[in-house]
Amino acid sequence: MRRRQWGAAVVVAVVVASAAACGGSDDASTRFSSVGESINSGESTDPGGEGGGWLDDGSFETSSGAGGPGADGYAASGEADSSAERGPATTMVPSDAPTGSETEAPPDVGLRAGWVDDNDRWDDYLLYRQDFDTLGLTVSPIAVEGRQIITVSDDSGRPVLGAKVEVLDADDEVVATLRTYADGRALFHAPTEVDPNSQNRPSFRARVSKGDVVTTAALDADTSQHDVTLDASTVGDVKVDVLFLIDTTGSMGDEIARLQANITSVAEQLDELEGDPDVRFGMTVYRDRSDSFVTRTFDFSGDVDEFSSALDEVTADGGGDTPEDMNAGLHDALTKPAWRGDDTVKLMFLVADAPPHLDYDGPDYADDVRAAAEEGVKIVPIASSGLDPQGEYVFRQLAQVTMGTFVFLTYGADGVTPGDETSHQVDDYSVLALDELVVRFVTEELANQG
């Protein structure tokens, strides 16, 4: 990878441009419409049904203006506190009302995206992190220099999905708990207090289990790749849970219509895959603490039409500053919907154009990304137009820790219409239609399970 220089002027320009895009106009007539009534009310679209439907809890309550330090924790209501001081009022629009022309995308132009696997290009990723450190931007620290990959296979060499991997130190204390992904791999980031080149490096061993089958293996400090054989069955129907975590603040308005078309296309293509895999779709949408809601979650459903109808209700509104409450969205996406168990491929696609608020009390993405790895949820962030260097770094942290892939929408010379160009710190990338790329990720996960 070519090491790029991140000039301060460039960073300032990107941040200013992103803030302007997220803020938009204060004139209510020029703002994007709110989400549909069923989302804002928290009422389920499938009362009493099995799966699906909007859940009615999981948002932050604000007691000190637009959030930030001093905000209360989770509120059972799922709404931001109506008594809090806030910016211009959000216009509420029924779910069946036509959206303004500003939210409509050309129907014949699909989104395109490039991607990079930072675990596959490990040395490049470490150089990228070094370059980012010179910017002095704030992120939640996640140490990765001691990365070790543990691959679990059965007696015939097939990868074991959903195996529990507990990493123990020399005192037999559990220092990490992980789940293997569809390719049998789990990622352990060893403590880095000791120089990795030292002869006094800490020793670890892995206790690997699935059901009643348990085995242990030493993690040789001289290698970062560890193969473990587990006498566990890998035969059976594989389930797939796909959740879309979407930033629905105002600056996403120019992408929402295109995203709806692309995500619906993804759901339809996956529903028609050969072999009729058991695929369910869920969704968490989020905004910020000063908006009409902070998060809303649509529980997993195997009904593509039901999911598509819920997706059609989503429009963009709110925001007002560059960061959004992505931390709340990520936390709820992991904890609110009914993810299935160990024999399930679990994928989360995060689509956003802004970094998380790091000045809020509440969940921290660094904690939740570790929780995702513990539950075997692979996160694939998809960076939309305007994502600044801080946001890119956070997105790539989420992908790297969960063995996901950093995806970024690509644009033409005007920076608006889909094309093949990006301003992100990546080189040597390929570009595909976004729906094709997402379907490819899911089918590759399934292929790992035969």
Q: State which residues form the domain around 249.
A: 8-139+238-448
pLDDT of res. 100: 35
Residue 1 lies in a domain: no
Neighbours of 211 (CB within 10 A): 11
Among 229, 259, 276, give the residue marking a domain's end: 229
**CATH number of the domain bearing residue 411:** 3.40.50.410
Give CA 29 to chain center in angstroms.
32
pLDDT of res. 199: 63
pLDDT of res. 24: 40
Residue 287 has pLDDT above 60, yes or no: yes
pLDDT of res. 441: 95
Q: Output the average pLDDT for the chain.
A: 79
Same domain, 357 and 439: yes
Residue 252 has pLDDT above 60, yes or no: yes
pLDDT of res. 89: 27
Same domain, 246 and 197: no
194 — pLDDT class (breaks 50, 70, 90): low
Each residue's pLDDT tens digit, 348-362: 999 999 999 999 999
pLDDT of res. 98: 35
Same domain, 213 and 132: no
Same domain, 29 and 165: no
The count of domains in the chain is 2
Q: First CA to last CA across the chain, in angstroms?
A: 33
pLDDT of res. 195: 59
Each residue's pLDDT tens digit, 228-245: 999 987 767 889 999 999
pLDDT of res. 88: 29
Same domain, 162 and 280: no
pLDDT of res. 236: 72
Same domain, 225 and 258: no
Same domain, 154 and 123: no
Burial of residue 9, with CB atoms counted within 10 A of its CB: 0-12 exposed, 13-18 middle, 19 or more buried: exposed
Residue 288 lies in a domain: yes
Residue 175 has pLDDT above 60, yes or no: yes
373 — pLDDT class (breaks 50, 70, 90): very high
Residue 4 has pLDDT above 60, yes or no: no
Report the percentage of the chain scoring pLDDT > 90: 56
**CATH number of the domain bearing residue 215:** 2.60.40.1120
Each residue's pLDDT tens digit, 16-73: 344 444 444 333 322 222 334 445 444 444 433 457 899 864 443 333 333 333 333 3
Same domain, 394 and 437: yes
